[in-house]
């Protein structure tokens, strides 16, 4: 197919679709895989705003602009196995000589020298067409829709239930803000965990998208309807989810006024980006969009003030008994800067619930079927269930996911796996491709939010035992290990999750195309990647990580 025909068929802006089936468009699966995943990130079913090439997380983009995107597509269609494409903040900038086991694409997004690493400086560069915000999996082409965070959110809510509610979330009300790309996973995760859920989003379109994909049960426009629904469901012990179109701060104020204290309280508005992500209290979406352009300074002022109020109300509810935690959007920092001095008086989700998993090398392992056939994912589910008969939580998860998760774009699955398990699963998947039990290759990747791939002092590395929260040598070592190990594409980003100046993180995707080459790469990459989490936490003094290190004979 000619380049122009390919663009017309799969990339006519803003209607993007990944090719399906087992026929190659590129020269090999090593380049077909990133090509399909890039286009999949921008598929309307997957991306929050394909018109702007925004995938999720506020302004997280897959490519810098339309022209840059077409150039990347052109390069991927013609790249061979002895070369690698360089992508700088969403734009192809060169091709280097490498070898068949090297990554085919090397990606760097949104990186700035530390003293310049502010939204203000970034915004100037963006306006000049020099940069884009890559979030975590937007600019690294391994976003799989809301499912990508579903299991992590489910595990977090379950861990919360275990710690505070005797392992039982039935008759418990969970309240949160934000029903966007990632936040939209909360209602389904909460109801899967047994809780009653109230989610608040100012943008009705976002809630409609969750209704369409089956992530939320009800959408309402008034506070009264919302509380009536959730209070009655809570009393009956019904795990239902309700999306209310409103400002989250106003809703929390109403709950306080009515003496309603949620059992669990968190937030996933795009607080990390006070200019483009968070909508200030008291103004409509349309007014917000005008003000952002006409007077960005004023917008920022209102936004930070609203976040200070929002966190003040969360603290009040915490005082009244809500189990309250930050869910990785840097809301506390913005609220502090906006005038709430006690913003950090509630914990982040990593130290509260997730770090013990990181010490076992566990993290959000995910894979996608390049064939586009859901049966291929069901085949991988079944293969995992047979290969890990003793891992009951995993089996339980895979069964629930099959029943309740609808796919967005290319069929995909997430499943938190640890050291040893990831390598075993990867080799199993390569065998499924080799023996024709799936119709086309699979790609295996993960979120940048993982055990050894991120430095983010307000999130993944908050309150590290040895105080090394801000040390970003670790994600760089992770990037280098995965490059040396032979991942199919690798990435290093700045600012994901929590915004400019607050994080640095690395991503990787490795291809399972049934070849011996893929097997060798998988053996190395899916050992190295979780191993980084164990090295990182062992070095920081976590005994659980040291135990895992011994268990896998990783002493050095
Ligand atoms: P998104 O931009 O797709 O959605 C954010 C939503 O917040 C939007 O729907 C927006 O309308 C809503 N919103 C903004 N201001 C509001 C207000 N005042 N009241 C009510 N709703 C409001 O972002 P996303 O992909 O859902 O990510 C949400 C946040 O979570 C981001 O900050 C992101 O960086 C972070 N994040 C966390 C994790 C994690 O593991 N915890 C993972 C990925 C992203």
Q: How many other C-beta atoms are found inside a 10 Å radius of the C-beta of residue 112?
A: 16
Q: How far is the CA of 529 from the centre of ligand 1 (A)?
A: 27
C-alpha to C-alpha distance for 58 and 270, rounded to whole angstroms: 6
The confidence score (pLDDT) of residue 278 equals 98
Fold of 354-551: Urocanase fold (3.40.1770)
- Specify the long-range contacts of residues 91-100, CB closer than 8 Å, at least 24 apart: 91/63, 91/64, 92/68, 100/30, 100/517
Q: Which residue lies with its CA nearest to atom 3 of ligand 1?
A: 180
Q: Which residue lies with its CA nearest to atom 40 of ligand 1?
A: 328
Nearest to 184 by CA among 309, 45, 64, 348: 45
Regions of the chain short of the pLDDT cut 50: none
Q: The tokens of 155 are what?
A: 């595990």
Reported as half-sphere exposure (CB side, CA atoms, 13 A), residue 429 has a value of 34
Query: In this structure, are residues 80 and 180 in contact, taking their beta carbons and an 8 Å threshold?
Result: no
Q: Which atom of ligand 1 is nearest to the CA of 179?
A: 9
Q: Which atom of ligand 1 is nearest to the CA of 272?
A: 32
The catalytically annotated residue of 160, 415, 451, 521 is 415
Q: Which residue lies with its CA nearest to atom 38 of ligand 1?
A: 328
Helix (H) or strand (E) holding 1: none
Q: Which residue lies with its CA nearest to atom 13 of ligand 1?
A: 269
The confidence score (pLDDT) of residue 415 equals 93
- Which residues form ligand 1's pocket by a CB distance below 6 Å? 48, 56-58, 149, 152, 177-183, 200-203, 206, 247-248, 268-272, 277-279, 327-329, 449, 497
pLDDT, tens digit, 9 for 90 and up, residues 357-413:
999 999 999 999 999 999 999 999 999 999 999 999 899 899 999 998 999 999 999
Q: How far is the CA of 381 from the centre of ligand 1 (A)?
A: 29
Q: How far is the CA of 522 from the centre of ligand 1 (A)?
A: 33
The confidence score (pLDDT) of residue 514 equals 98
Q: Which residue lies with its CA nearest to atom 39 of ligand 1?
A: 328
Pairing status of strand 412-417 against strand 363-369: antiparallel
C-alpha to C-alpha distance for 477 and 494, rounded to whole angstroms: 15
Query: In this structure, are residues 159 and 354 in contact, taking their beta carbons and an 8 Å threshold?
Result: yes
Name the 3-class secondary structure at 159. Answer: helix
Q: The tokens of 496 are what?
A: 């994901």
pTM: 0.94
Q: Which atom of ligand 1 is nearest to the CA of 248?
A: 19
Ligand 1 pocket test target in 47, 49, 50, 57 with most atoms within 8 Å of CB: 57
What are φ and ψ of residue 321, in 5° steps? 120, -5
Q: How far is the CA of 287 from the centre of ligand 1 (A)?
A: 19
Q: Which atom of ligand 1 is nearest to the CA of 331?
A: 32
What CATH number is given for 147-346 in this structure?
3.40.50.10730
Query: In this structure, are residues 74 and 81 in contact, taking their beta carbons and an 8 Å threshold?
Result: no
The confidence score (pLDDT) of residue 155 equals 86
DSSP for 107-130, please give it.
EEES---GGG-SHHHHHHHHHTTS
Nearest to 306 by CA among 278, 325, 285: 278
Q: Which atom of ligand 1 is nearest to the CA of 329?
A: 32
Q: How far is the CA of 58 from the centre of ligand 1 (A)?
A: 7
Q: How many residues does the chain have?
A: 556
Q: How far is the CA of 278 from the centre of ligand 1 (A)?
A: 8
Break the chain into its structural domains and give their ranges.
Answer: 3-127, 147-346, 354-551
415 belongs to the catalytic site: yes
pLDDT, tens digit, 9 for 90 and up, residues 38-70:
999 999 999 999 999 999 999 999 999 999 999
Q: How far is the CA of 183 from the centre of ligand 1 (A)?
A: 6
């Amino acid at each position: 197919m000619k380049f122009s025909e390919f663009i017309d068929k799969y990339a006519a802006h803003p209607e993007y679709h990944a090719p399906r089936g087992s026929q190659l468009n590129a020269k090999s699966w090593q380049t077909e895989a990133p090509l399909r995943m890039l286009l999949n990130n921008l598929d309307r079913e997957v991306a929050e705003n394909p018109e702007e090439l925004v995938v999720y997380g506020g302004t997280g983009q897959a490519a810098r602009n339309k022209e840059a995107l077409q150039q990347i597509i052109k390069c991927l269609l013609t790249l061979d196995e002895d070369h690698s494409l360089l992508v700088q903040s969403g734009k192809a900038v060169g091709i280097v000589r490498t070898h068949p086991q090297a990554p085919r694409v090397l990606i760097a997004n949104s990186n700035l020298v530390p003293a310049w690493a502010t939204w203000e400086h970034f915004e100037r560069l963006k306006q000049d067409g020099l940069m884009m915000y890559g979030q975590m999996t937007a600019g690294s082409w391994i976003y799989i829709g809301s499912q990508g965070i579903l299991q992590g959110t489910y595990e977090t809510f379950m861990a919360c239930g275990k710690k505070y509610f005797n392992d039982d979330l039935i008759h418990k009300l969970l309240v949160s803000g934000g029903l966007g790309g990632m936040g939209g996973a909360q209602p389904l995760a909460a109801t899967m965990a047994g809780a009653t859920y109230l989610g608040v989003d100012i943008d009705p379109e976002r809630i409609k998208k969750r209704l369409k994909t089956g992530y939320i049960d009800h959408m309402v426009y008034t506070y009264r309807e919302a509380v009536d629904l959730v209070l009655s469901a809570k009393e009956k012990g019904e795990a239902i989810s309700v999306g209310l179109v409103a400002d989250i701060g106003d809703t929390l104020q109403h709950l306080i006024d009515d003496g309603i204290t949620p059992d669990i309280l968190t937030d996933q508005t795009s607080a990390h980006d006070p200019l483009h992500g968070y909508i200030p209290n008291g103004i409509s979406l349309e007014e917000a969009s005008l003000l952002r352009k006409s007077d960005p300074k004023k917008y920022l002022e209102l936004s930070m003030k609203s976040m200070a109020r929002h966190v003040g109300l969360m603290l009040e509810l915490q005082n009244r008994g809500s189990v309250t935690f930050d869910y990785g959007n840097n809301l506390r920092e913005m609220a502090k800067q906006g005038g709430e001095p006690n913003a950090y008086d509630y914990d982040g989700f990593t130290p509260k619930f997730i770090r013990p998993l990181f010490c076992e090398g566990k993290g959000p392992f995910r894979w996608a079927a390049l064939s586009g056939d859901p049966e291929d994912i069901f085949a991988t589910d079944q293969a995992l269930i047979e290969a890990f008969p003793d891992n009951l939580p995993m089996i339980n998860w895979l069964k629930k996911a099959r029943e309740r998760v609808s796919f967005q774009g290319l069929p995909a699955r997430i499943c938190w796996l640890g050291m040893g398990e990831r390598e075993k699963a990867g080799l199993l998947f390569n065998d499924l491709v080799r023996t024709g039990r799936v119709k086309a290759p699979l790609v295996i990747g993960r979120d940048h939010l993982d055990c050894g791939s991120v430095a983010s002092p307000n999130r993944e590395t908050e309150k590290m035992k040895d105080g090394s929260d801000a040390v970003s040598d670790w994600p760089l070592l992770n990037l280098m290990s995965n490059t040396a190990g032979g991942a199919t594409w690798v990435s290093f980003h700045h600012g994901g999750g929590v915004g400019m100046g607050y994080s640095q993180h690395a991503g990787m995707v490795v291809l399972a195309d049934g070849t011996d080459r893929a097997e060798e790469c998988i053996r190395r990459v899916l050992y190295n990647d979780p191993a980084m989490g164990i090295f990182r936490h062992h070095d920081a003094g976590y005994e659980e990580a040291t135990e895992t290190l011994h268990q896998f004979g990783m002493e050095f």
